[in-house]
């Protein structure tokens, strides 16, 4: 440093600090040549800040907003003018720190990882949350001792990570102990924020900082859980599914009627609308519309085959007695054994009277391989 710089540094008689707007500076150390203060210098402390004097490594005094004259009568140090006989080497030096006491707003917080909690309706769920908070320095001495120390320019980003850790940790405690159902959280953000504020405030008080505001802006669920809730909500909105199906059919017919393809397009559209309505109605009644194919491994009720027909049974006159009933296969065996002849009388339900076996359409083919009786000699 040149002689002129040294001399001009000696005679600085105004100590003040105007905070730059682009930085969030919480504490700033006023810089002078060897920390020497001229006797009679003016100290200007603006609203929203205080000035802390550190003498020989210890906090000596804290000045609130106002203008002060620094001399040996009101300061615990000797002025630089007394050091002229030592060649500008004052035996007493003092550091001045300006500490911002205004409120710092719009500070962001959020859960870095999902928070697990037990919901009374849905069981274990994972939540994410974020919001904002505001703080201010209320105990400059404690703040200087605990955080600033010898930092010449202490900025908010240097403690933002610590704030976030404290806030998230205490917020998790609050959300877990509040036992508010997940679906009711949206209506309780203010309550949760108040509880979290009271839980976090003592932690910051230890640093000389007061948490003035705490807001919960959003508490969200994982995307897959939100999709499931959306489906559940959609079902609740639909209400009567039968009425909804009819409404959808009417909408399809209306859209088809607006088809600019002319009469043919309208006819096709009406057919499509009716098909849509039939498909939706059948979906609720358990049937399948014509022309559709059931899913693999399932059988649509409309495509089931009818039950097998019952076998035809005949009563047979054997040896002057009614026997049976016998099915066609059994009668065929009796024809082969000679028990039943062409002229044997048979009857089944629906026939008006007994008839010869060979005259019945169901039995006539059985006699094709049986020779007729021999002619009389």
**Predicted structure pTM score:** 0.55
Q: Which residues contact 26 (CB under 8 A, 6 or more apart)?
A: 99, 100, 104, 137, 143, 148, 154, 155, 156
Structure confidence by residue, pLDDT tens digits, 149-165: 889 999 988 888 889 89
Segment 55-75 mean pLDDT:
80
Structure confidence by residue, pLDDT tens digits, 317-329: 888 888 878 888 8
pLDDT at 31: 82
Among 253, 309, 313, CA closest to 277:
253
Range of lowest pLDDT (20-24, 192-196, 261-265)? 261-265
Q: How many CB atoms lie within 10 A of CB 296?
A: 5
Torsion sign over Cα 127, 130, 135, 139: positive
Report the share of the chain in percent with pLDDT over 90. 24
Confidence of residue 3 (pLDDT cuts 50, 70, 90): low
Q: Is the pLDDT of residue 15 over 70?
A: yes
Mean of the per-residue pLDDT values of the chain: 77
Segment 299-303 mean pLDDT:
52
Structure confidence by residue, pLDDT tens digits, 236-247: 766 666 776 777
Confidence of residue 136 (pLDDT cuts 50, 70, 90): very high
Among 161, 168, 167, 163, CA closest to 137:
163
Confidence of residue 35 (pLDDT cuts 50, 70, 90): low
| 252 or 376: which leads in pLDDT | 252
Q: Tokens 């001495």: give the residue.
A: 141
């Amino acid at each position: 440093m040149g002689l002129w710089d040294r001399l001009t540094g000696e005679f600085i008689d105004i100590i003040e600090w105007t905070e730059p707007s682009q930085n969030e500076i919480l504490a700033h150390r006023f810089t002078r040549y060897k920390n020497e203060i001229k006797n009679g210098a003016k100290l200007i402390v603006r609203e929203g800040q205080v000035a802390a004097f550190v003498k020989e490594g210890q906090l000596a005094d804290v000045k609130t907003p106002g203008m002060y004259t620094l001399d040996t009568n009101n300061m615990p140090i000797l002025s630089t003018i007394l050091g002229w006989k030592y060649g500008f080497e004052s035996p007493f030096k003092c550091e001045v720190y300006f500490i911002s006491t205004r409120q710092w707003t719009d500070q962001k917080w959020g859960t870095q990882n999902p928070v697990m909690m037990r919901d009374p309706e849905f069981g274990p769920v994972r939540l994410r949350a974020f919001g904002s908070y505001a703080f201010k320095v209320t105990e400059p001495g404690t703040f200087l001792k605990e955080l600033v120390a010898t930092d010449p320019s202490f900025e908010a980003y240097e403690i933002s990570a610590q704030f976030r850790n404290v806030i998230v940790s205490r917020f998790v405690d609050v959300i877990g102990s509040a036992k508010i159902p997940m679906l009711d959280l949206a209506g309780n953000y203010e309550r949760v924020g108040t509880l979290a504020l009271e839980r976090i405030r003592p932690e910051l008080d230890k640093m000389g900082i007061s948490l003035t505001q705490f807001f919960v802006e959003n508490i969200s669920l994982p995307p897959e859980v939100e999709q499931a809730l959306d489906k559940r909500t959609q079902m609740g909105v639909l209400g009567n599914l039968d009425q909804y199906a009819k409404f959808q059919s009417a909408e399809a017919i209306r859209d088809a009627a607006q088809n600019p393809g002319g009469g043919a397009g309208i006819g096709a559209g009406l057919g499509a609308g009716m098909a849509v309505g039939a498909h939706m109605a059948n979906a609720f009644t358990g049937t399948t519309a014509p022309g559709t194919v059931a899913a693999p491994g399932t059988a649509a009720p409309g495509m089931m085959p009818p039950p097998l027909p019952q076998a035809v049974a005949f009563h047979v006159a054997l040896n002057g007695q009614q026997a049976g009933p016998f099915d066609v296969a059994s009668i065929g065996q009796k024809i082969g054994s000679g028990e039943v002849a062409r002229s044997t009388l048979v009857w089944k339900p629906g026939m008006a009277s007994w008839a010869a076996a060979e005259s019945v359409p169901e039995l006539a083919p059985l006699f094709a391989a049986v020779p007729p009786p021999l002619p009389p000699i």
